[in-house]
Amino acid sequence: MTKSGEVRKISDEMKRDETLTITVLGGGGEVGANCFQLCYNGYQILLDCGTHPKKEGFGALPEFSLLRRSPNALIISHGHVDHCGATPYLLRQFPGVRVYSTLPTARIMDRMLHNSVSVMETLAKERGISDYPLYDHEDVGYAVRSIHAHGFEESFFLGDDAEIEATFHHAGHVLGSASILLRTPRHTLFYTSDICEIDQELMNGYTPLNGDVRVDTLVIESTQGASDESAIYPYPQESARLGESIRRVLKGGGSVLLPCFALGRTQEILNIVARQQEEGVIPDVPVYVSGLGRAIYELYDRFYEYLAPGAVLRPLSQFHRIGNVWEPGVVRRLIEDPCILVATSGMMMENTPSALIAQEMVRSNHHGIFFVGYVDPDTLGYKLLHARPGDRLRFLLGYPAVEIKLENIKRLHFSAHANRAALRGIIERIKPHNVVFVHGDPDALAWMRHNGGNGYRSCAPCTGQTITLEN
């Protein structure tokens, strides 16, 4: 090598910055707009790019003001909007960002994000939220076309830079959901994202990392950190309790509403209900499902090979369309004869199909409304769960409140998030140098840090905080 070549090589090496830092743009200290920026040697990678489920307008976006320039790459773990909902907005600001996800997640994002545009357009009109829509259908089309899809356990380099390698690992949460392993020449980071250890009706639990992978930094979700797992029935028992609760209502001539998230819970619950009808536990009444849940169901069917081996996914044609619940009389006619309705939103926000159906059901006392997932204290669903007969609740904004006569309203516990014992198990198995707790309410994060972070360099950063990750 010539002398000038040597000089250049030395100065290049001096410029290298092999420190890895993580800046939380969202999802720190809360279950929010998940987005984590990694910086390594001038390269910027975002892990997830979600919108905050409880905030509105620009406030629902991650802290993009902390991005000083365009990120090089964005890796999406799965299709829930708290992980992918801000992607079209980011790409409108920074066209050319390479996006990576699994193939089912890319297809799910297509449906979820077009639906988000429609929801934002409605909110802009009905509630005058001037920031909405944050992006349009064209932006969604561009974002989805920017995705490079990769399979599980298939390592790939990010862009032209052959220094950073990524791999998706089956996370067991919903169809296509992945944990992400990132390797730089000096540091290995594992981001669990939303992860589930148990076998659900359609999904197998997560695949543990190979034991010989040495992880320096583990970024782990903490959703269930404040829930005592011993107080919750295992999934099969909870399924049986659900079946028994539904059976009783139907036998009494009532109908049952199961508010569900469109991605994951809807497909799981439909197949639990169908199985119990086949087993004769639940009477053979019609089962109805609302729009977005149906659209995602088609993808469960298309990507059948991603489901648990042996999972039985009934044909979507077996479940009826709910129809337009906004038209007068539609819900009343539906619930006249006993039936089961699976409808979004899962936490029953006002003005959604589940709220419109509930508004009719609560007027008499022979139906049943069973929530099957997490219900946030700030939601209509939570108020309904804690309502007493005679209380009045508003299901449709701008319309009069309705008197609650129905008593049979309860919550069952189905979760696609690892319980806290399983989260501790992940940490103990991986034995990383650093543990970063994210995606949890403050009490959940505090419990995890106290009980899962012992003996490790651990932190639960808030949004806006930067951490330098050491080996």
Amino acid at site 242 = L
Distance (Å, whole) CA 164 – CA 17 = 14
Is 80 a residue that touches Zn ion (CB under 5 A)? yes
Q: Are 400 and 184 in contact (CB under 8 A)?
A: no
Closest separation in Å from C-beta 261 to Zn ion? 9
* DSSP tag of 243: H
Q: Select the residue interacting with Zn ion from 30, 194, 268, 350 (CB under 5 A).
A: 194
Is 30 a residue that touches Zn ion (CB under 5 A)? no
The residue among 94 and 303 lying less far from Zn ion, judged by its C-beta, is: 303
Distance (Å, whole) CA 5 – CA 239 = 68
**Contact window for Zn ion (CB under 5 A) among 52-60, 194-202, 249-257, 335-343:** 194-202
Closest separation in Å from C-beta 206 to Zn ion? 13
**Contact window for Zn ion (CB under 5 A) among 53-61, 191-199, 322-330, 341-349:** 191-199
Backbone φ and ψ of 449, nearest 5°: -65, -40
Would you report the helix, strand and coil content of the chain in percent, each value rounded to 5? 35, 20, 45
Closest separation in Å from C-beta 175 to Zn ion? 11
Residue 269: name the closest of 284, 253, 254, 257 by CA.
257
Is 268 a residue that touches Zn ion (CB under 5 A)? no
* Coil vs helix vs strand at 328: coil
**Contact window for Zn ion (CB under 5 A) among 79-87, 110-118, 124-132, 341-349:** 79-87
- The HSE-up count of residue 327 (CA atoms within 13 Å, CB side) is 6
| Binding-site size, Zn ion (CB under 5 A) | 3
Closest separation in Å from C-beta 395 to Zn ion? 26
The residue among 82 and 350 lying less far from Zn ion, judged by its C-beta, is: 82
The residue among 221 and 350 lying less far from Zn ion, judged by its C-beta, is: 221
The residue among 359 and 415 lying less far from Zn ion, judged by its C-beta, is: 415
The helix-helix angle for 291-302 and 265-278 (nearest 10°) equals 80
Closest separation in Å from C-beta 253 to Zn ion? 37
CA 406 from centre of chain: 30
Is 82 a residue that touches Zn ion (CB under 5 A)? yes
Residues binding Zn ion (CB under 5 A) = 80, 82, 194
